Structure 1
């Protein structure tokens, strides 16, 4: 029974999992770099973190509606900590965030989310969407007309492709958008910014390090407010 359940969980929907994995893998690269820039850390840090999170969650299992990758909401909370204290304190705050989340899960504090009104959640998500949009505006200013054409074409593919009778519901439109527009840009040789222009892409696996911060009360007082905020978000 256990083997059947595990097999069903891992191999029960291979096609959808494969398509979703390809879309997320392709979209996560520029997203992780963009959120790294927002947080004020090296783009490689965001790529390494997103990779590690995705692999770990795929093994230990996630939950419906849980984002297991780089998110703008978390990046926005890290800006001040990174600017004032550096990356090592961010790593310490991240570890403390994990401890707080484990404690919250053990205490079943997630049930408190049922008391949060839908309007609050909607406002939070809309504000996050606005912040992400504002962060992308520099990519749409002082650029050539090719960028606007590619942006319009991408939106057209994403929103119009699902309207096709059969194939539109089989292949995710974001995947079609990424593959088609990347092919067009390479074929024509368009002079537009690429993901590589946003930051250096790593060519090696990450090296796991323990945060080099003093283990004392002062460090705890620095990272605790950020860790609590990150855990709640």
Structure 2
């Protein structure tokens, strides 16, 4: 493989990739802080975790429309875990979640999402928004 082929495959438009990375990084900082506050951990934990996710995604390779960041759904689920068992269990739960996602991807379980109706997905997202709002009320 020559250098031109590698460049065209891995970095077809370096300027666009750098700009996209900068925008995502700037958007990820407040998101990581907010979700770590929701989960009940120190905001530094959220920032370090977001950085680690970005590095792993950069080396493992992302896909278009793939979300590689903290999510509100996971932050809401982790509140009880952190409250009951501490941050140590949060790391173990994160590793286990990643392994389950790898297994689900290998088994092509994403195809089952075709059977979930649009109204169920809309209800899930709306409920998630309400729960995030309620979780922020003490901070207000």
**Is the TM value for this pair above 0.5?**
yes
Q: Match of 2:12?
A: 12
| Partner SS state of residue 63, structure 2 | coil
Task: Give the Å deviation of 1:6.
Answer: 4.4
Q: Match of 2:92?
A: 92
Alpha-carbon spacing, 1:137–1:27, altered in 2? closer, same or farther (3 Å): farther
Work out the CA distance in 1 between the residues paired with 2:24 and 2:38.
20
Structure 2 unpaired stretches of 5+: none
| Partner SS state of residue 41, structure 1 | coil
Q: Match of 1:39?
A: 39
Query: What are the Cα deviations for residues 172-229 of structure 1, in whole angstroms up to 9, with x where unaligned?
Result: xxxxxxxxxxxxxxxxxxxxxxxxxxxxxxxxxxxxxxxxxxxxxxxxxxxxxxxxxx
Q: Match of 2:64?
A: 64
Normalising by structure 2, we get a TM-score of 0.84
Normalising by structure 1, we get a TM-score of 0.53
Report which of the two structures shows the higher radius of gyration computed on alpha carbons.
1
Task: Give the Å deviation of 1:35.
Answer: 0.6
Task: Give the Å deviation of 1:51.
Answer: 0.2
Indicate whether 1:120 and 2:120 are aligned: yes
Task: Give the Å deviation of 1:2.
Answer: 8.8
Alpha-carbon spacing, 1:65–1:116, altered in 2? closer, same or farther (3 Å): farther
Task: Give the Å deviation of 1:82.
Answer: 0.4
Work out the CA distance in 1 between the residues paired with 2:7 and 2:71.
31
Q: Match of 2:53?
A: 53
Greater helix proportion: 2
Pairwise CA RMSD: 2.4
Work out the CA distance in 2 between the residues paired with 1:132 and 1:5.
46
Alpha-carbon spacing, 1:63–1:80, altered in 2? closer, same or farther (3 Å): same
Q: Match of 1:228?
A: none
Work out the CA distance in 1 between the residues paired with 2:15 and 2:130.
33
Alpha-carbon spacing, 1:8–1:103, altered in 2? closer, same or farther (3 Å): same
Work out the CA distance in 2 between the residues paired with 1:15 and 1:138.
42
Alpha-carbon spacing, 1:55–1:41, altered in 2? closer, same or farther (3 Å): same
